[in-house]
Amino acid sequence: MESHACPMSTCAAPMGSPCRTGRGRVAIQYHTARFRLVPQLAKALSVPTPAVRKPGSAWIELPRPRTAGTEPAGHVRLGYARASTARQSLDSQLDSLAAAGVTRVFSEKISTRATKRPELETAVTLAREIRASGVAVTLVVHEHKRLGRGIDLATLAEELRASDVGLEFLTGELQGSHDPGGVVFTVLAALSGMEREYIRDRTLEGHESARRRGKTIGGAGVTDGAMLSMALHLRDQEMSLRDIAARLVITTGAKKGQHPSPATVMRMLRDHGLGTGEVVYPTVTNSRFRMLRR
């Protein structure tokens, strides 16, 4: 987008710089008149200014993109790897990037829904600075989902294109080097944003359909009528949840022969109370649980 100067008379930001407000700050969103110059964003209702542009900060003119046709001196490949949770491993991504000849990798474990991803911002900033020095730069990612989806991915790709930074994916639907301004990239980026919502909607529909048929959502149940009867008997003796659980034994399934957890006992008693007009509340008295009726 920043490959075009802002046509707003109140802004007139030159190519290479984000839009600005009337008070001399970096605009939160690019001006509509400007992103209409970009075909793939022409129908968008709004396009936010990337976080790396520091929206709300004092506006300064950034170095303009290098003149087309100027031969770059050398080529640097920067990598980016991301996992959504701390439990997920980055090893496969790191191995893939190393095999692709990436010399430096920025990695982090953070959700793609996070508004700020520090390592990605650092990688983009460094790529822009290296390119401004006259060296060709390509940002290499294992798969496009590691960067983002939908409009977020299209916005980031447009920012890289405006800075003349290449973008390459090693696998997935967008495998290969792509022109972020191309129609194919735009369509696939939009579809990737729709994929998550489609999976979520289908999952919720499946859960609702199962509930209407009386099926349990989640893992296999470990409680039965005999266990409930025993738990009610022990509860009447004012035993704690922990002691009740220690007296009960699972009779079916993969956990056969084991004791249920206190949380399982509490849910079983709670569900029984809700089904009979009786509500059961766990409370702590002298470091022990006691079931109270109301």
Q: Which domains does the chain have, with CATH numbers?
A: 1-63 (no CATH), 75-195 (3.40.50.1390), 225-293 (no CATH)
Q: Enter the tokens of residue 209.
A: 């359909």
Distances (CA, A) of 197 to 47, 85, 117, 205: 20, 20, 22, 12
- Cross-strand pairs, 167: 139
Position 107 scores a pLDDT of 93
Position 290 scores a pLDDT of 44
| Residues, the chain | 294
Euclidean distance between CA atoms 123 and 140, whole angstroms: 10
Position 274 scores a pLDDT of 42
Least confident of 6-10, 27-31, 77-81, 271-275: 271-275
Q: Mean per-residue pLDDT for 259-269?
A: 87
Question: Closest by alpha carbon to 161, among 9, 15, 12?
Answer: 15
Position 7 scores a pLDDT of 87
Does 30 have pLDDT greater than 80? Answer: yes
Annotated catalytic residue, options 84, 96, 107, 192: 84
Backbone angles phi, psi at 108, to 5 degrees: -160, 160
Does 186 have pLDDT greater than 90? Answer: no
Euclidean distance between CA atoms 242 and 262, whole angstroms: 5
Euclidean distance between CA atoms 278 and 48, whole angstroms: 52
User: Would you say 121 and 51 are in contact if contact means Cβ atoms under 8 Å apart?
Assistant: yes
Position 143 scores a pLDDT of 87
CA 275-276-279 angle, to 5 degrees, is: 85
Position 215 scores a pLDDT of 65
Q: Mean per-residue pLDDT for 97-111?
A: 90
Q: Among residues of the chain, what percentage have pLDDT more than 70?
A: 73
Q: Mean per-residue pLDDT for 106-124?
A: 87
Euclidean distance between CA atoms 163 and 136, whole angstroms: 11
Position 283 scores a pLDDT of 42
Position 219 scores a pLDDT of 47
Q: Mean per-residue pLDDT for 230-250?
A: 87
Euclidean distance between CA atoms 112 and 88, whole angstroms: 14
pTM over 0.85: no
Does 161 have pLDDT greater than 80? Answer: no
CA 214-219-222 angle, to 5 degrees, is: 85
Q: Mean per-residue pLDDT for 67-95?
A: 81
Position 170 scores a pLDDT of 92
Q: Mean per-residue pLDDT for 77-88?
A: 88
Position 58 scores a pLDDT of 92
Is 84 tagged catalytic? Answer: yes
The chain-wide mean pLDDT, for the chain, equals 77
Computed from CA positions of residues 157, 159, 102, 88, in that sequence, does the dihedral angle turn out positive or negative?
A: negative
Confidence at 101, pLDDT banded by 50, 70, 90: confident
